[in-house]
Structure 1
Amino acid sequence: MQGMNMRRAVMATLTGVALSFSAYASDLEINQFRARGPAGGNDEFVELINAGSTALDVSGYQLNGSNASGTVGTRLTLPAGTSIAPGCHLLLTNKSSGGYSGSVAGDLTYSTGVTDTGGLAILDASGTIVDQVGLSSGSAYQEGTPLTSLGSTNGDQSYIRSTNAAGLPNDSGDNSADFVLLSPSAPQNSASPCVALGASMSIADASATVRGAADVAMPFTITLSKPAPAGTGITVHVATADDTASASAGDYDALNTDLTVAPGQSSTSFNVTVHGSTVGKTDRAFHITLSNPSGGYTLARDSAIGAILYDIPVDAEIWQIQGREQTSPLLGKTVLTHGNIVTAVGPAGFTMQTPDARADADPLTSNGVYVFTGSAPSVAIGDVVDVDAVVDNYYHLTELKNPVVNIFSHNAELPKAVRFDAGTPSSDPQHLSCGATNFQCFISMRVKVSHGMINTGNKRFSGEPFAEVSITASGKRSLREPGVVYGVPVPDGVSLPNWDGNPEVFKMNTADFGAVPLNTPFNAGSTFAAEGVISYDFGAYTLIPTKFHLKQAVELPRAVDKAPPVALRVGALNTERFCDTTFDTTYTCSGGSKEPSDAEVQRKTQRLAAYIGSVLRLPDVVSVEEVKNLALLQGLAKQLGDDYHASYDAYLMEGHDPSGIDVGFLVRTDRVKVLSVRQLAADETWDDNGQTAYIHDHPPLLLTAQAGLMRFQVIAVHTKARQNVDKTGSSADRDRAKRFEQARSIASQVQALQQASPLTPLMVVGDFNAYQFSDGFVDMVGLISGRYKDSENLLKLGGPNIVHPALWNAVESVPYNDRYSFQFTQNFGEIQGYTRAGSGNSGRSVPTFQVLDHALLNWPARLRFMRMQYGRGNLDAPAQTLDDAASATDATKAIGASDHDGFVVELLDPSIVIGRRHRVH
């Protein structure tokens, strides 16, 4: 990394040197090109030349293009094994429609053109620009004064470099001085004659780093294209000249002398003395010019840049290194930091922290930093160390690279750990713990978590099946809470706040510092205590424990409690696209590119049976959603009979979903007598942007049944998804309107049933695709239950609630941490202290647990209510466990059977036992 920083510094220095002096960064050059030819704008080629004396391996090099606005893109990456011999060419041509029309075949092709006023660049395999040329001042690629565009008229002309006395292309660092117009163009490829390299010499750029008062030798090398002849060898005059560096000011010692290349040798070296410094300076440069070579040698490259890089170590405390932002104010500098305490040791580095007595008083800066050693460090927790290192930024984690570590003592008392709890980190995005962020001021510092909650099962990375987990320090799950989603403006006329987005959620990598063995699985809902340090990687702040204690490990699958025999048990489960093998709908039932195979259908059936049987414990009635047809549901009923000796009848009626999924019921025949099953509002329509369409894709299904002496009713629902609700535009408006109409339709059906049978227990269950509170747009649960508030919703009911008396949501009886049936990973972008961390990462993603599956009870049902429980097996497992469970042969096959967790509601009905006795006798 230090070498990379040096190269970047050299490039920056060379850019600032006067362009009247040659600046050769590589032997590879763009020799000839055109951005438009006789066949049009795609009739392009780029000709490269190796102007050096040895073969060039250009594997992985890139041809990039720019437009006149500075937007760049890669046109071609040269394949492995590509090389160019000395003086030889490589021709790159555009193969797209209307592309290269020349008679000399291209060696390699690309398919995206370059604009007439754009630019070209060749980059090496590490992404460093080797050569570039521009056709306008707006091009991102150019050297000195750009060339004049050849315009938009088709014609056979190109730009080609002029040559020097040695026959080599000129490269002064100024496009307008180096290139001339050639008409007609004359591209050359790898089979074309190579340039005859005459006897010539060149000098290469050099740099030296000053790190203190001592003088430093900056080595330069002069290279001959052919060995010096026998006898006297070759002489050449060498002279330095000031640029931003000055010999008279004491930056370096001037040189003005003749040098000799010994007979038979191809190079010679010499040094320029650069004077040391004890104070920091901006990087500076001088140049060297060759002249008067002997022996008939020409000057292929007669000038070089000497870059003086000042890297004077800065004495700094850790908090000065960290600063208040993610990027260190001392980035790229060498620092000396003294007397800090090692707090954690990992396989490739360690963290250290300022002793409490020296800690700064600023709560917005961190007193800890990570020291990257690249291999196992020779320090131990409690060591007191001095570190001399370079400040670097690794994906927004400030760290010290290339360290020199001196240990002065052992077993020091560790700095006091910051206590993470219900108040820290903050749960209020308007008052974050670290000002603009929630964790940056704790980075690499010791923290202690006494009441931690594992929020999700392990993610899975390549080679690491059980990796990081999401956690909170408050002991609470990251649940969806009331309000409009964070980052979305609250609509006019809505009296709700924004939900906070759970900024207190962070990650934990338990194995990084050896607190637990690598690939240890954790189920969500488990609690823990830990000590460790805060780190940052790839878009998220992370706890890396040095001590870890699993306080309570939850098991999966985790069944609902056994019910007393006097309970009528009504459950609900979204089966997550329970499909057959036939594609006979508008869209695939599976939601993918094809329907499942026979074996996959059978496996899904067995896993759903395991969930209903082992996790929900065979409810008397199960509302099921996302089932394609009655035959599948009958197959599930048979599977339950085979595996659990429970007799179920299946009920399903086809709806209007274009992928074929419907709602249905499974009813236990030994405990419940079905009186009727019918669809509600199946034929209701609405004006869908000028077209008449069905309101319900999955019409509600009404079950009227009797258990013992009690008659009861259950409505199974599956309303429209929230896919676009939090967005803007016509699709969002349409989805909100349809959800509103669906909820109003179901509410009307509920009210009609209540009026017809006011004493009959009624439950509305299933996947509502809505929360137990308003999202600020349409509170579907509130509308269906008779608790809708216009003041909390964008869409207004405009009158009294339809349902009266109101239904009660049994979710309110569920313990707070258990109020979830679905997980949605919410991406909040660059907010709350999480910053974009490289390509493909769009910011902070938070796993949000939400209730989408509800049970609404009328008063007769509520009077009999005993409890509501969610069975756990789908949402809390590690990613690897979900995959492994698919092939399990025991009850663990239930894990991952769906993307929802189902529930069971129990109603008191002593007559069930009486009824069973009567039937027995």
Structure 2
Amino acid sequence: MATPRLRRLIAAASLPLAVAATMAALPSTANALSSDVVISAVYGGGGNSGATIKNDFIELANLTGNPINVSGWSIQYASAAGSVFQMTNLSGSIPAHGRYLIQQAAGAGGTLSLPTPDATGSIPMSATSGVVALVTAQIPLVGCGISCSTAPNVKDLVGYGATANVETLAAPGLTNTTANARSGAMIDTDNNSVDFTAGVPKATNSAGTTVTADDPGGPVDPTPGSVRIHDIQGAGRISPIVGQNVTNVPGIVTAVRTTGNARGFWFQDPGADADPLTSEGLFVFMGTTSPTVVIGDSVLVSGRVTEFRPAAGAQALTELGGTINTVKLTSGNALPAAVPVAFPDAYTKSGALEAQPLEPSSYVLDWLETHEGMRVTVNQDTRLISPVNTEFNELWVTLKPGQNPTPRGGSVYTGYDDQNSGRLMILALNGAPAANVGSTLAAGTTGPVDYQSFGGYVVQATQLGAITEGGLKRQKVLPPKKQGDLSVATYNVENLAATNPDAKFARLAEAVVNNLGKPDVLALEEIQDNNGATNNGVVAANETVAKFIAAIQTAGGPLYDWRSVDPNDGTDGGEPGGNIRQVFLFNPARVTFVDRAGGDANTAVSVVRERPTSNQVSLSVSPGRINPGSDAWASSRKPLVGEFLYDGDKQLFVVANHFNSKGGDFPLSAAVQPPVRGSEVQRLKQATEVRDFVQDLATKSGGAARVVVLGDLNDYQFSPVLQTVTGNGTLLKTLIDTLPADERYSYIFDGNSQVLDHILISPAIKGYSYGVVHINAEFSDQASDHDPQIIRILTGCNIDPLPTRCLPGSPVVDE
């Protein structure tokens, strides 16, 4: 993929229900996202009828780990329909990860004063609708109409209620007793309707003093309220009382999370109702505040019912958020009995899941939803189908061991309609030991069901079964049978930069020498510039490549030469500042690179026929890039093309690719099924560009051109992208399809062994052997998250019928 595999605990707090059952697309955002200071709360009902707090207020939040000076800034307010802004000047600083309080006009009522404000104004804000702008100057906004979010010096803007002057869509309208607060982790999406939730007014100043309208001292009443957890969860995916405040909801604490910025605890009602569709468990979100409760505490919890949607297209997690108050009644209580995990055959139904009734006996996603927040247990031994990610203590197991198994213990992903319904993600709250695919997880893993952005539903394990390592071995390539055979490999080396530790270079180099057998041509993806993620205009990667070549020599490999084309700074995607690109390494003792001058970041390579009546072709530039000015390659890597000679004068054209990543696609557990594959649109354009180039090679050579198209295409062998780039198999052959169906994978994601990396060949390449070399994806200890692939083009195979040694096979064996 274009960036390292990202796995995090929930990184944002509870958001309002931002996506309806149809998941309608919202307008694009209006302004650059603010990553340091944001408006965190607005309240205009101060001192009005029914209000507790006496003054209107605006609160700012510093999202960084350093103080930020706001002297010379201002906060400005306009009515919902107005264009005249009133201004309050700011001074001083916002502490690291702190707040800054601006007090505005007081009403005639109210009983509660704000904490000591950091700035004071006299603006009477509307209690229902208005516009607040944070401006990095003390000049009134003039003439920006309803587009003030993009006006000069505007750092952040919140339009609430009935106003069109917003970031994308308005935040909720307010009342005398409600304020808009930015959700939990302060994520700024430039969509006011998503970023803000209306609730009880709460104000915090830079000293950390907080006043909450309904919480002068916290609840002390030990009497359970009338609402139970199953009332909050309801019989559907969305709570029937979302947005409401609830008081003294009873339950037993079953799990606690005390790290990250999604801290909190799960609690469960030991007295279940008679409805199997209503979950009895719930997560209490506390942001960066660590809970003081422990497992076994009997508690009463007050807060606001929210639906947290962790990513675009994801389902929503019902939870309690807002201002959390917890009363501990007793400790050491027995936990509610854990429900054995029992998945039905089908993974999901189609359509908008949130608009359909739950059918837990028929669909896995429905079974998990009806147990959201509840204790469950895996009461059978299971097989690991992903390696343990020891950084985040994650692993995947299969509850259906006979479902699409790979020979090495994984679960192969065979198509969009077969998601492998036996997969279950487990996150070990107390840590997990390293273990590889095929290992055994003993029965007994227990914990509440949660929902996260990547893996979807997950068991947050308070108890993890014992893991027995399965003895998986890495693979290597057999030596060639004939001296004239040419080996070509592809390897995504995962953001390799000269600044990386020597140990990473040594691991990758060892794989090139000992596992890949010193390939004659090696196409590398994700080679970064010399200073890696440092974003300072450097694009050259000569130091990165030289360090890798030296490491290969040290490991016993040849002295490789190399070719590449430096990208323009910041244009090719990947990790910001890294300027990743593809690079050819080649062994000059075995193959000749045909250099043709003129290739650079902006010059398109073309196919040149040597003579009008000849099928002999060459490249206009070598190395070169395919149509780099096409919008297909916007913020994405451009294919690298090179012309090689081997075995005398045999010509070979190699196209190294790294198509745009799947980032932004909806997860397999998406709220609308089948999930939207939004990133596919650009890859289809990229596939068309590569196909057209290869077609030109084929046409002008009369089909005689030997072409290898390879790299990280970021898509599956059955995808429309692969059908496009191969011309439905008529222009290029997809070599992964020549392997047995249970061996078609080079990467593992969400517990599915799948194909992202490919080698494709033109019909002019007759005899070959091919294989995926499994050395990374199935192992906890990885040099990269991708497995390399290799083709060996066999000599003496340009005749029909093919000799026995020319028939397809695999040169790959276990170490």
TM (norm. structure 1) is 0.46
Equivalent residue for 2:279?
366
Q: Which of 536, 550, 564 matches 2:450?
A: 536
Equivalent residue for 1:96?
139
Equivalent residue for 1:749?
697
Equivalent residue for 2:587?
667
Q: Deviations over 1:402-454 (max 9, x none)?
A: 46667999799x46513247x37548678886588562202204232643545
Q: Secondary structure at the match of 1:419?
A: coil
Seen in structure 2, the aligned counterparts of structure 1 residues 748 and 850 have a Cα distance that, compared at 3 Å, is farther
Alignment of 1:508 with 2:439, yes or no, is: no
Contact kept, 8 Å, 1:313 with 1:335, in 2: the verdict is yes
Question: 1:634 and 1:139 mapped to 2: Cα distance?
Answer: 53
Q: Secondary structure at the match of 1:742?
A: helix
Alignment of 1:716 with 2:660, yes or no, is: no
Query: How far did residue 854 of structure 1 move?
Result: 1.7
Seen in structure 2, the aligned counterparts of structure 1 residues 698 and 450 have a Cα distance that, compared at 3 Å, is same
Equivalent residue for 1:70?
129
**Aligned residue type for 2:382:** H
**Aligned residue type for 1:739:** A
Query: How far did residue 643 of structure 1 move?
Result: 1.3
Equivalent residue for 1:185?
none
Unaligned runs of 5+ residues in structure 2 are 1-44, 58-74, 90-102, 143-152, 164-170, 178-213, 259-263, 309-316, 530-539, 573-578, 597-605, 608-618, 666-675, 798-804, 806-815
Unaligned runs of 5+ residues in structure 1 are 1-14, 77-92, 100-109, 121-137, 145-203, 213-310, 381-385, 460-464, 484-498, 512-516, 580-595, 789-800, 824-845, 882-893, 915-921
Seen in structure 2, the aligned counterparts of structure 1 residues 58 and 631 have a Cα distance that, compared at 3 Å, is closer
Alignment of 1:701 with 2:642, yes or no, is: yes
Query: How far did residue 869 of structure 1 move?
Result: 2.0
Equivalent residue for 2:760?
856
Contact kept, 8 Å, 2:76 with 2:134, in 1: the verdict is no
Seen in structure 2, the aligned counterparts of structure 1 residues 576 and 70 have a Cα distance that, compared at 3 Å, is farther
Query: Residues 598-637 of structure 1: matches in 2 within 5 Å?
Result: 608-625=508-525, 635=546
Query: How far did residue 570 of structure 1 move?
Result: 2.6
Contact kept, 8 Å, 2:160 with 2:172, in 1: the verdict is yes
Query: How far did residue 510 of structure 1 move?
Result: 0.8
Equivalent residue for 1:447?
377
Query: Residues 461-472 of structure 1: matches in 2 within 5 Å?
Result: 465-469=391-395
Q: Secondary structure at the match of 2:546?
A: helix
Question: 1:663 and 1:334 mapped to 2: Cα distance?
Answer: 61
Equivalent residue for 2:52?
25
Seen in structure 2, the aligned counterparts of structure 1 residues 352 and 313 have a Cα distance that, compared at 3 Å, is closer
Question: 2:231 and 2:521 mapped to 1: Cα distance?
Answer: 65
Q: Which structure ranks higher in relative contact order (CA pairs < 8 Å, sequence separation ≥ 6)?
A: 2
Question: 1:862 and 1:453 mapped to 2: Cα distance?
Answer: 39
Q: Secondary structure at the match of 1:739?
A: helix
Question: 2:564 and 2:734 mapped to 1: Cα distance?
Answer: 27
Seen in structure 2, the aligned counterparts of structure 1 residues 407 and 48 have a Cα distance that, compared at 3 Å, is closer
Query: Residues 832-843 of structure 1: matches in 2 within 5 Å?
Result: none
Equivalent residue for 2:575?
none
Contact kept, 8 Å, 1:391 with 1:398, in 2: the verdict is no
Seen in structure 2, the aligned counterparts of structure 1 residues 535 and 415 have a Cα distance that, compared at 3 Å, is closer
Contact kept, 8 Å, 2:438 with 2:470, in 1: the verdict is yes
Equivalent residue for 2:389?
458
Equivalent residue for 1:647?
558
Contact kept, 8 Å, 2:269 with 2:280, in 1: the verdict is yes
Q: Deviations over 1:220-249 (max 9, x none)?
A: xxxxxxxxxxxxxxxxxxxxxxxxxxxxxx
Q: Secondary structure at the match of 1:325?
A: coil
Query: How far did residue 743 of structure 1 move?
Result: 0.9
Query: Residues 203-282 of structure 1: matches in 2 within 5 Å?
Result: none
Equivalent residue for 2:772?
869
Seen in structure 2, the aligned counterparts of structure 1 residues 643 and 446 have a Cα distance that, compared at 3 Å, is same
Contact kept, 8 Å, 1:575 with 1:625, in 2: the verdict is yes
Q: Give the number of aligned pairs.
A: 563
Seen in structure 2, the aligned counterparts of structure 1 residues 327 and 139 have a Cα distance that, compared at 3 Å, is closer
Contact kept, 8 Å, 1:482 with 1:774, in 2: the verdict is yes
**Aligned residue type for 2:646:** A
Seen in structure 2, the aligned counterparts of structure 1 residues 502 and 389 have a Cα distance that, compared at 3 Å, is same
Return the index of the structure with the highest Cα Rg.
Answer: 1
Q: Secondary structure at the match of 1:779?
A: helix
**Aligned residue type for 2:557:** A
Q: Which of 481, 506, 523 matches 1:566?
A: 481
Query: How far did residue 543 of structure 1 move?
Result: 0.3
Q: Which of 903, 912, 918 matches 2:789?
A: 903
Query: How far did residue 612 of structure 1 move?
Result: 1.6
Q: Which of 724, 733, 739 matches 1:813?
A: 739
Seen in structure 2, the aligned counterparts of structure 1 residues 25 and 872 have a Cα distance that, compared at 3 Å, is same
Contact kept, 8 Å, 1:655 with 1:699, in 2: the verdict is no
Contact kept, 8 Å, 1:438 with 1:504, in 2: the verdict is no
Q: Which of 782, 793, 797 matches 2:726?
A: 782
Contact kept, 8 Å, 1:509 with 1:542, in 2: the verdict is yes
Q: Deviations over 1:741-767 (max 9, x none)?
A: 42132145357778549xxxx672521
Contact kept, 8 Å, 1:478 with 1:847, in 2: the verdict is yes
Seen in structure 2, the aligned counterparts of structure 1 residues 115 and 781 have a Cα distance that, compared at 3 Å, is closer
Q: Deviations over 1:294-316 (max 9, x none)?
A: xxxxxxxxxxxxxxxxx874496
Q: Secondary structure at the match of 2:787?
A: coil
Equivalent residue for 1:740?
688
Q: Secondary structure at the match of 2:687?
A: helix
Question: 2:157 and 2:565 mapped to 1: Cα distance?
Answer: 56
Equivalent residue for 2:808?
none
Q: Deviations over 1:832-873 (max 9, x none)?
A: xxxxxxxxxxxxxx69875343223567967553x5123433
Question: 2:422 and 2:546 mapped to 1: Cα distance?
Answer: 45
Seen in structure 2, the aligned counterparts of structure 1 residues 644 and 67 have a Cα distance that, compared at 3 Å, is same
Q: Deviations over 1:477-507 (max 9, x none)?
A: 6877656xxxxxxxxxxxxxxx688898664
**Aligned residue type for 1:518:** G
Q: Secondary structure at the match of 2:713?
A: coil
TM (norm. structure 2) is 0.51
Q: Deviations over 1:690-727 (max 9, x none)?
A: 99x9xx954533434239xxx97754212473469999
Root-mean-square deviation (CA), in Å?
6.6
Q: Secondary structure at the match of 1:623?
A: strand
Question: 2:478 and 2:794 mapped to 1: Cα distance?
Answer: 10
Question: 1:409 and 1:116 mapped to 2: Cα distance?
Answer: 47
Query: Residues 309-388 of structure 1: matches in 2 within 5 Å?
Result: 313-314=225-226, 319=230, 322-325=233-236, 360=274, 362-368=275-281, 374-375=291-292, 377=294, 379=296
**Aligned residue type for 1:809:** L
Seen in structure 2, the aligned counterparts of structure 1 residues 451 and 650 have a Cα distance that, compared at 3 Å, is same
Question: 1:142 and 1:367 mapped to 2: Cα distance?
Answer: 33
Query: How far did residue 563 of structure 1 move?
Result: 1.6
**Aligned residue type for 1:418:** V
Percent identical:
15
Q: Secondary structure at the match of 1:743?
A: helix
Question: 1:333 and 1:607 mapped to 2: Cα distance?
Answer: 55
**Aligned residue type for 2:745:** R
